[in-house]
Amino acid sequence: MDHLGTFELVTIEDNDGELLDCYFEQDDGEFHITITGYESKEGEDCEPIVVYYESDSHDVGQVASFGGNDSHVDEDPDGVYESDLETNGGQQAAISLIHFCGTERGTDGDAANNGSE
């Protein structure tokens, strides 16, 4: 599988520290993945626990997330990533970083990597 992109949660605050907005920003890689939305923990605006994503050119084969000193991997992704991250106290943690891997559509990952069919 190829690295398709890593996204970090960015928060925007005013001068008084009030949260104004948040979004996922791609840190690296080519732009093969689009995050189309997210759901936050109940009662919170910018603590995502579910992420919706799509790709026009690639099949996503694995999604990994990080947050609350925990990590979680979904090896059977379907366009909706539901986090199982936990804080040290056992509470559900928000996603602060999400990483996507996959293969280009129309290619066999193994054949594409070694030039054979």
Percentage of the residues of the chain whose pLDDT score is greater than 90: 77
d(CA 82, CA 86): 12
d(CA 19, CA 37): 18
List pLDDT tens digits, range 56-79.
999 999 999 999 899 999 999 999
pTM attached to this predicted model: 0.85
Of 110, 111, 98, 117, the closest CA to residue 33 belongs to: 98
